Structure 1
């Protein structure tokens, strides 16, 4: 090794720890954003699934009893519809005994 050769200064070596921490923070942020996106998508799909289940139960009630249920509570009591009332608001609007009710499911979070 030559004692008189100049040592070259490499700018990345000086801040390697800083770059590592910044990269870790960036990856953590991307991970949290992706988890949030997946959670939102899942919540929306659950709302659609709840709406489909309510409509299916309404049609089943119509086929068995000859009229659509008068309220959502009737479906809960007799047809086993359950949902998390803290996370969803369900608007069940009956139009007539022989017309399919209008169902709207709104996620709260």
Structure 2
């Protein structure tokens, strides 16, 4: 049986398509924001882990040698510390051999 489409039915279908398109776009934006927030959180947690690893290596060096290392490179060469310099900006400041260094790790 053939049913002719009325103007009302055509408008109803058009509204349904527009609503489904808007809902799809909103869901895509929400998913994108959620992924971005997760990625940022993971980088911040990674930065905290890198900072802790550097401080633990510096403390280990102090316990073995009697003074804190003067540079981050010294820890990397002599104590097996591996840091991803492409993902993090690291500031390592050592004032004296008997003062713990200041370490700042910022995700790129």
Band the TM-score falls in, shorter-chain normalisation: 0.7 to 0.9
In the alignment of these two chains, the number of paired residues is: 101
CA distance in 1, matches of 2:14, 2:41: 43
User: Structure 1-normalised TM-score?
Assistant: 0.84
Instruction: Measure how far apart 1:14 and its partner are.
Output: 3.7
2:48 counterpart residue number = 48
Moved over 3 A (4+): 9-14
2:63 is aligned with 1:63: yes
Instruction: Measure how far apart 1:87 and its partner are.
Output: 1.9
1:83 counterpart residue number = 83
Higher helix share: 2
Range with greater deviation from structure 2 (27-36 or 61-70)? 61-70
1:4 counterpart residue number = none
Q: How big is the alpha-carbon RMSD for the aligned residues of Structure 1 and Structure 2?
A: 1.7
| Unpaired runs of at least 5, structure 1 | 1-6
Query: Within 5 Å, which residues of 2 pair with 1:1-109?
Result: 9=8, 12-108=12-108
CA distance in 2, matches of 1:48, 1:34: 21
User: Structure 2-normalised TM-score?
Assistant: 0.85
CA distance in 1, matches of 2:104, 2:97: 18
